[in-house]
Structure 1
Amino acid sequence: MNTSTVRVTGLSKSFGDLAVLKNVDLEVQAGQVVVILGPSGSGKTTLLRSLNLLEKPDAGTLEVCGYRVEIPRSGRFDRATRKQVALLRQKTAMVFQSFNLFPHMTALENVMEGLLSVKKVSKAQALERGRHLLDQVGLADKADSYPAKLSGGQKQRVAIARGLSMDPEVIFFDEPTSALDPELRDEVLGVMRELANSGMTMLVVTHELRFAQEAADRVVFMENGVVVKDCSTEAFFGEESGERIQQFLRRY
């Protein structure tokens, strides 16, 4: 039985003459938490954005939540492939560094939006689900607050609740704490740890080594557009991980 949530083969992406992803292979099993580490410019965010086609790769094949997309040489998706992409996106959620909340909507309305516009549930159901999710991320008392009145950590927790509203099979986190002060980072990392403990499949681009040590099943280390190391968390942080990994860890 195939238990892979994400499988990537030969994924490549260039911006002009700059090759950002070079023939990347990656597989993530259902329920795994995989942290993607590496220096700036290594291709981490481009890889993550390629997994739900926010960034269209130049070549390769990806299968996410059972939906398979083969990147055509022409770069243009036919109707059948576009349908696969739409279905794939409905099974995933993305949490961005910059929150991406609607400023004219309250926290509750931000969480409800996908339920109403994509899932087409009733307003009563959306209200109930939205309030439950805000409570899950510790923001039940902020349901009627607008983003401008929320701290950065609170905004990010609303963004996580919004992602969860779609009942995703996998959540992609792109540097979710990099814009936050240390105290606010801990708020968000606490919610992410709870999700990891609940069995949610997660791919996390981050520099939070402590989170990787505590919550990740695997660490993928990227550099210059390639996967340099893909191993268990214990092996990555162990003394036998290799000089390049040890050099990276010393810097952080």
Structure 2
Amino acid sequence: MNSETCKVSVTSLAKSFDKQQVLRDVNLQVQTGEVIVILGPSGSGKTTLLRSLNFLEQPDSGEIQVCGHRIKVNRGKAPSRDDKLEITRLRQKTAMVFQSFNLFPHMTALENVIEGLVSVRRIPKVQAAERGKALLSQVGLLEKADSYPAKLSGGQKQRVAIARGLAMDPEVIFFDEPTSALDPELRDEVLIVMRDLASAGMTMIVVTHELRFAREVADRVIFMEGGIVVANEKPEVFFSEISNPRIQKFLCRY
């Protein structure tokens, strides 16, 4: 599914909103095919880090590399023309799945999935629809192809959103708390799709509070607090051997 060279690298990343520093000298390496789960309390910088990786948030300083595309950020300096081109290329290698689905309400499930193929990739609609139906089948929703978002459950909407991301053939998928807006009984259907993607070798960076998913699927668990990476360990080490009281307090809450 992924190319052999699609890695993610973050070096000395920093980000502030007004006078509040949200990310402080964050460093992270993600290998091709790895599943990284990012945990941490609210306000720890998890989502800001994720959004910075594809420049939905503009970092203040540091360096980001995704699939060979490198952007070095200098505080107070606008991105150069070359940087903007690299950001565009970087985004073409990635997909983002949001907490709130972000589906177009006036489009059917199939139309949502193929919108990028038709409007961005300029693929003929008939050909795009074939791809879209295959992806809806992959996430277990082919029978909902002609349904509008208002007629879908939260779990179904999120699975459509995942199919939409997959339609663009990303090499890395970022998940921003994909199950937090769902009732407990709907979470598993989304997590099953994510497990299948992980098993197929998709590189994934997942912000979540789903500890079972982190234990069973993640290759590494990152714990953030106060804008810094406090722990970066394999699940068996993170859940069994770390004595950090802040991490233990977090785990007890979930």
- Into which bin does the TM-score normalised by the smaller protein fall? over 0.9
Note if 1:16 corresponds to 2:11. Answer: no
- CA shift, 1:73, in A, is 2.8
Deviation per residue, 1:91-132 (Å, 9 max, x gap): 000000000000110000000101111122121210110000
Question: What does residue range 47-86 of structure 1 map to in structure 2 within 5 Å?
Answer: 47-86=49-88
Query: In the alignment, residue 243 of structure 1 is paired with which amino acid?
Result: P
Give the aligned residue type for 1:28. V
Distance in 1 of aligned mates of 2:240 and 2:77: 41
* Separation in structure 2 between the aligned mates of residue 133 and residue 234 of structure 1, nearest angstrom: 33
Where does the alignment leave 5 or more consecutive residues of structure 1 unmatched? none
Structure 2 equivalent of residue 44 of structure 1: 46
Matched AA of 1:137: V
Counterpart contact for 2:6–2:171, Cα < 8 Å = no
Residues 205 and 182 from structure 1, CA distance in 2 versus in 1: closer, same or farther, beyond 3 angstroms?
A: same
Pair 1:88 & 2:94 matched: no
| Shift >6 Å, 4+ stretches | none
- Decide which moves more: 116-125 or 234-243: 234-243
- Of the three residues 119, 122, 147, the one matched with 1:120 is 122
Q: Matched residues in 1 for 2:89 and 2:105: separation?
A: 27
Which position in structure 1 is the counterpart of 2:108?
106
Measure the CA separation in 2 of the matches of 1:214 and 1:108.
Answer: 31
1:234 alignment partner in structure 2:
236
The Cα of 1:3 is off from its aligned counterpart by 4.5
Residue 131 (structure 2) aligns with? 129
Percent identity over paired residues: 69
Q: Show CA shifts across 1:133-172 (max 9, x none).
A: 0000000000000001100000000000000000000000
1:191 aligned to 190, 193, 204, which one?
193
| 3-state SS of paired residue (1:167) | coil
Distance 1:4 1:80 in 2: 20
For residue 180 of structure 2, the aligned residue among 178, 181, 186 is 178
CA–CA distance in 1 between the matches of 2:6 and 2:109?
33
Q: Among residues 141, 150, 172, which one is paired with 1:139 in the alignment?
A: 141
Q: Is the 8 A contact 1:49 1:55 kept in 2?
A: yes
2:9 corresponds to: 7
| Superposition deviation, residue 241 in structure 1 | 4.5
Amino acid at match of 1:40: S
**Backbone CA RMSD of aligned residues:** 1.1
**Distance in 2 (alpha carbons) for counterparts of 1:53 and 1:64:** 11
Shift of 1:245: 2.1
Residues 23/240 of structure 1: CA separation in 2 closer, same or farther (3 Å cut): closer
Opposite residue 150 of structure 2, the aligned amino acid is A
Cα distance in 2 for residues equivalent to 1:155 and 1:240: 36
Are the aligned partners of 1:152 and 1:184 in contact in 2 as well (CA < 8 Å)? yes
The amino acid across from 1:98 in the alignment is: S
CA deviation vs aligned residue, 1:42-74 (integer Å, no higher than 9, x gap): 000000000000000000000011100011333
Unmatched segments (≥5 aa) in structure 2: none
How far is 1:4 from its partner? 5.6
Aligned residues of 1:147 and 1:155 also touching (Cα < 8 A): yes
